[in-house]
A and B are shown apart, each in its own frame.
Chain A
Amino acid sequence: MSQLRINELIPEGRLLASGHLACPGCAAPLAMKLALNALGANTIVVMPACCYTIIAGPWPQSSLQVPVFHTAFATGPAVASGIRAALDTQGKFDTTVLVWVGDGGTFDIGLQSLSGAAERNENILYVCYDNEAYMNTGIQRSSATPWGAWTTTTPAQFPEASNKKDILAIMAAHNIPYAATATPAYPVDFIAKVNKAKAMRGTRFIHLLSPCPPGWKCGDDEGLELARMAVQSRVFPMVEVEDGQHWRVTMEHAGDPVEPYLRRQGRFRHLSGEQVTHIQREITARWESLQRRAQAEPLVPAGAM
């Protein structure tokens, strides 16, 4: 079959209601829809401060048709730990506790809480939807903002000067059962990872690249294409790590040049050719490093064992 029938691989569901308050073209509700459809109604969502605090809908509404607990910025994993403990004491071992957090709540203010939960190997699924800045407050840089990016706190004359924090490696270093990158722009890959994570116990971490048209300064309909360009140019490789040890690249990456990806976004428009070259070199170096890690656990060819 020429067209991958993704509808046969993606579960249907009505756990995300329309009328949520995401900006047009925001990928986060798409990610939420996909995740909830895969996880099903037996899911409780913990939502620290992030764009989704607004997106989910103001009281007395909720766009999520599963229980949601809104909580303070730094507390997602801790609150989830408490919910998990309470569910376990009630014998509800099969309920998934899903922490749904942005990059600020993960990379920055929530990292301690996340590290604590991961170290305890809390039985929770943590999804960071990373739009690469504090978008809810109006596009301020976070430690997930890539080098060279414009934000309102890293103006074009002095753009972001730090490299994006390698959160996947940090989480993998906790030796949790599962850590992966994904993007809703590749829903089949994302769903496969959610399903894999769902079937596991312990702390499971999925780092989603979630395009933000206002923050990335792209068209409302361009976000998903940009996310795919990010993957194919190896800016944001699709990876999974099991038990902190077994690294695997989960799809083919074309290795496209990064420049078209950067040039289509207003947040990178100020970059000089030299700066683009620098970014390209960094990507190549990181990819080579990833290759070395991934080679430590080569994929066994089908039928070889």
Chain B
Amino acid sequence: MKKVMVGNHAVAWGVRLARVEVISAYPITPQTQVVEKLSEMCADGTLPARFIKVESEHSAMAAVIGASATGVRAFTASSSHGLLYMHEMLHWAGGARLPIVMVDVNRAVGAPWNIWTDQNDSLSQRDTGWVQLYCETNQEVVDTTIMAFKLAETLDVPVMLMLDGFYLSHTAEPVDVPDQEMVDRFLPKRAASYKLDVESPHAFGALVKPDAYMEMRFLQQEALQQVPQTLAAIEKDWQRMFGRSYGALEAYRADDAELLLVTSGTVTSTARAVVDARRAAGERVGLLKMKMFRPFPTALLRDALRGVPRVAVLDRNISPGHGGIFAEELRSALYDIPDAERPELFGFVLGLGGRDITPAVIDEVIEKTRAGVVPSREDLWVGVNP
């Protein structure tokens, strides 16, 4: 069934198809359409879930933690300050190994106030033990929402799914809505391996002394390290049933590329057009889309970038005092590649607070990457008018 819908509604459709049982959320621009659509679905019975309309994001995350700990499928969505307000509980969900799925509609963080997109909200949550997946299209949002539950419940890790505020959240695209029966086959009802159950009473999350805390963190790391191959297997099933897949990384026209753009989110679509134009002009320019940021897909990235002469990373985020976050982490990942095969990496900071990343901006990125033998600084700002 094809439907035209905005990204936020694509989230709601994914949640509905995944047969989520408990939702708890608090409204925030530009996520609000998610909670509105889900409220409608719960109200009209198309989604028979309990929706707890809490008084804060902190409580929203706490409520889905409680629900997930009781063995049901739970979902929340937020954005920007809302996500930051959840921070403490994001850690709790990660440490408690609860397979919660949430959507973050990427939005810049104040001060000053800004409601438009960038990735600083979600990237500042990168150490909370959540898988982070960045989506490019509304189709990918629907599909990934459903797959995220499968991934989360397979490994007992929470998954956060990102879509760019307004560029995706409020942009209508045709979406092939997966068939519910097929989704049910793909994603059966959650069978928790442990849960709050009066028939089998256990305490969860009590004080763990130094003699075991580290082991639990190690096991959390082990589980997260399994995410790339687990997601690959899940996508294989999805591909088989629905004819679509995305990958933790997607290489676009990257064969024999002299220059590879590395992107995430909606800027990928713009970059695809630029790449097509450059290829048409005979230039060896390609694209690597990073969907997965956590766990950081180091091995996949090394394979994809080994021997590529120049790499331009487009970061719609900034770690103040350091640089673009994707670029910084990529530099670390590529450090172990022998000098001869290690690409020269150019890290660009651009598009903050919702500033447009037009084809012209990406052209500027390409030109600057070509021009320098080595980057003049780690953070190359594009489109800044100082």
Chain A positions within 8 Å of B, measured between CB atoms, are 41-44, 46, 53-54, 56-59, 61-62, 64-72, 74-75, 77-90, 92, 95, 112-113, 115-116, 119-120
Contact = CB atoms under 8 A, between A and B. Distances in A.
Given A71-B92, A82-B52, A86-B74, 6 more contacts: A61-B206, A71-B62, A79-B65, A86-B67, A116-B56, A116-B59
B340 interface: no
B41 interface: no
A74 B65 contact: no
Contacts of A58: 206-209
B92 A67 contact: no
B24 A86 contact: no
A82 B22 contact: yes
Q: Which of A81, A89, A95 has the most CB of B within 10 A?
A: A81
A119 B202 CA distance: 30
B344 interface: no
A83 B196 CA distance: 8
Given A78-B58, A78-B63, A120-B53, A89 B22 contact: yes
A116 B55 contact: yes
Contacts of A66: 198, 201
B49 to A, nearest CB: 7
B196 to A, nearest CB: 4
A174 to B, nearest CB: 12
A72 B62 contact: yes
A120 B51 CA distance: 12
Given A85-B52, A119-B55, A72 B204 contact: no
A44 B212 CA distance: 25
B82 to A, nearest CB: 14
A82 B92 CA distance: 14
Contacts of A88: 50
A64 B203 contact: yes
B198 A41 contact: yes
Interface of B: 21-22, 24, 49-50, 52-56, 58-60, 62-72, 74, 88-89, 92, 196-198, 201-209, 212
Contacts of A65: 201
Contacts of A61: 206
A97 B357 CA distance: 50
Query: Closest 8 A-B residue pairs measured CB to CB?
Result: A82-B66, A116-B55, A86-B70, A78-B59, A78-B62, A62-B203, A75-B62, A70-B205
A115 B69 CA distance: 23
Contacts of B196: 44, 67, 69, 83
A96 to B, nearest CB: 9
Contact of A90 (B69, B71, B204): B71
Contacts of B62: 71-72, 74-75, 78-79, 82, 113
A127 B72 CA distance: 26
Contacts, number: 162
B63 A79 contact: yes
A86 B72 contact: yes
Nearest to A119: B55
Contacts of A59: 203, 206-209, 212
Interface of B is mostly: mixed
Contact of A86 (B21, B201, B202): B21
B24 A81 contact: yes
15 contacts: A44-B198, A67-B201, A71-B66, A72-B88, A75-B92, A78-B54, A79-B66, A82-B62, A82-B63, A83-B66, A85-B21, A85-B66, A112-B56, A113-B62, A120-B53
A244 to B, nearest CB: 18
A223 to B, nearest CB: 24
B214 to A, nearest CB: 13
A64 B201 CA distance: 9
Given A86-B67, A113-B55, A62 B206 contact: yes
A70 B96 CA distance: 10
Nearest to A113: B59
A64 B197 CA distance: 13
B83 to A, nearest CB: 16
B67 A72 contact: no
A69 B68 CA distance: 11
B252 to A, nearest CB: 41
B59 A89 contact: no
Nearest to A84: B66
Given A67-B196, A113-B62, A85 B22 contact: yes
A82 B206 contact: no
A58 B198 CA distance: 20
Given A42-B198, A66-B198, A68-B204, A85 B63 contact: yes
A283 to B, nearest CB: 34
Nearest to A70: B205
Given A70-B203, A89-B49, A83 B67 contact: yes
Contacts of B92: 71-72, 75
A44 B66 CA distance: 11
A41 to B, nearest CB: 6
B55 A82 contact: no
